[in-house]
Amino acid sequence: MQMIHRLRRNFILLASAAVFLLVFIVLLLVNVSNYVQTMDDIDSDLHYIASHGGVIPVKTAPAERGWFSTGERGNNTDEFSYQTRFFSVLADKEGNIKNVNTKNTASFSDVEAVEYARTSVSSGNAEGIFEKDKAFYAYLITTDEKENRLIVIMDCTREFAFIHALWRFSGILGFFCIIVYIAVFAVLSKWVMRPFVDNMESQKRFITNAGHELKTPIAIISANAEAIEMINGKNQWTESILKQVKRQTDLINRLVALSRIGEYGSDEAQKREVDVTETVRTVIDSFRPVAEEQQKNIQSTVDKNIKVFAIQRSIYELTNILVDNAVKYCDDKGTIYISLKAKKKRKKNFALTVANDFTAGKGVDYSRFFERFYRGDESHNSEKSGFGIGLSMAEEFARSMKGVLTVTWRDGVIFFTVTV
């Protein structure tokens, strides 16, 4: 069931990521369009006031400008001139103040208006926005034919307060939308995954039942072949029969084990502190005679006292598959390299690397090595026969321990590394 949980989790994560991206884009567009429209309105008002000598001659707002303009302003009322808080300062080219207009603001004296105007001029920009005393102001500086400078400064605190409020509201709304969507996806994922779960369970039952049904005739064939050997002695035919019986028995056992791997990783009751060092050494020792018989050498470097909380069978089977694969496909008279290293000082995580000489590995598609029933050309050799199941099982065992199994090849050596 671990695979089902993983698929369901991935489904929820992908769906949530898609919703997050969609909500983010929509809210971003809303806020950006609002910001651009607000800045266009401010710019329109400043130019309108500046074009009339720093005053509003009529009580209606100027026409909209900018990308999102509709031709009319929402505040196009008789109260526009009273709603717009601004002041203007006119100075000659030497900087002498010629006129100050503060009729449209009650909180600024002429002295303060001149001070703010000088602040705007000192910025070096013809227009811009600045913040002072927790308030926001937009300014526009224009020059007439006599080189007189008109500085128009408008209070934009309300506009920026609305922009900030919209950003905050969008963030809160987006957060709650994502939470709701995740909850909905979590519920729907059970319904969406149900056919797949039922199919997986049916496959497991079929493999288990078929395995039991096939074991009986295979056992009979094996017994008959052994009886023939006892009567007539060994010959190439009985040896071939027994060899194929062993291969088919191994295939059945691996298929059944493959269908149950998820159960190993999800059974918390079977988890305990496992001595990884001792488990790896046991597997290595069991393969040394096999390697020596094939004139292959095993070199190992194993850190001491590496222990993890896991299912001992998973670690044993994982190591057994990788070492068996290395011995089987190692070049003739080649070397198998096995390394177990602690990843942290507390030795609660480890990296297991099983490598072997493999000079024919250049150009091989290693991305498919963990596909079920995939076999490279080498595995079709009768002396190194396989079913393309072992490495797939190894990857599932690694996942059951929340680890990662990778394969690389360099300088004539293939490396399988498990990081847990």
- The confidence score (pLDDT) of residue 119 equals 85
In the chain, the amino acid numbered 18 is: A
- Cβ partners under 8 Å of residue 380, min gap 6: none
Q: Which of 141, 163, 185 is the last residue of a domain?
A: 163
Q: What is the pLDDT along the chain (420 residues), one digit of tens a residue?
A: 556 677 777 778 888 888 889 999 999 999 999 999 999 989 988 998 888 888 887 655 555 555 555 554 444 556 666 678 899 999 988 888 999 998 888 788 889 889 888 888 888 888 999 888 888 999 999 998 888 999 999 999 999 999 999 999 999 999 998 888 888 877 877 777 777 777 767 776 776 777 767 777 888 888 888 888 888 888 888 888 887 887 777 777 767 766 666 555 555 656 788 899 999 999 999 999 989 999 999 999 999 888 888 888 888 889 988 998 899 889 999 999 999 998 875 555 889 999 999 998 888 888 878 876 666 544 434 445 554 677 888 888 888 888 899 999 988 999 999 998
The residues, ordered by sequence, that sit 6+ positions from 212 with a Cβ below 8 Å of its Cβ are: none
Residue 260 belongs to a domain: no
Query: Do both 14 and 145 map to the same domain?
Result: yes
- Closest by alpha carbon to 39, among 163, 144, 123? 163
Return d(Cα 102, Cα 113) in angstroms, integer: 7
State the total domains in the chain: 2
Q: Examine residue 202 and state whether it is found in any structural domain, yes or no.
A: no
- Per DSSP, the residues of 385-415 read ---S-HHHHHHHHHHHTT-EEEEEEETTEEE
Cβ atoms of residues 216 and 257 within 8 Å: no
Q: What is the CA radius of gyration of the chain?
A: 39
Residues 407 and 280 in one domain: yes
List residues bridging with 334 in a β-sheet: none
| Among candidate residues 109, 137, 163, the one where a domain is terminated | 163
- Report the pLDDT value the prediction gives residue 302, as an integer from 0 to 100: 92
Residue 227 counted as domain residue: no
Whether 244 is in a domain gets the answer no
Q: Verify that 141 and 276 share a domain, yes or no.
A: no
**What is d(CA 170, CA 164) in angstroms, rounded to the nearest whole number?**
10
Question: Is the separation of the CB atoms in 44 and 62 below 8 Å?
Answer: yes
Q: Is residue 171, in this structure, part of any structural domain at all?
A: no
Identify whether the C-beta of residue 408 lies closer than 8 Å to the C-beta of residue 272: no
CATH number at residue 342: 3.30.565.10
Residue 126: inside a domain, yes or no?
yes
Number of helical H runs and strand E runs in the chain: 8, 12
- pLDDT (0 to 100) of residue 380: 37
Task: Pull the structure tokens for residue 239.
Answer: 């040896």
Structural domain of residue 296, as residue ranges?
A: 270-419
| Residues 278 and 158 grouped into a single domain | no
pLDDT at 334: 93
Read off the DSSP letter of residue 62. P
In a domain, 298, yes or no: yes
How far, in Å, CA of 213 to CA of 218, rounded?
A: 9
**Which of 163, 197, 232 is the endpoint of a domain?**
163
Which pLDDT value is given to residue 216? Answer: 76
Residues 299 and 150 in one domain: no
Whether residue 29 lies inside any domain: the answer is yes
Q: Helix, strand, or coil here: 369? A: coil
Distance CA 348, CA 173 (A): 42
Closest of 211, 261, 39, 67 to residue 129, by C-alpha? 39
Contact present, 415 and 409 (Cβ < 8 Å): yes
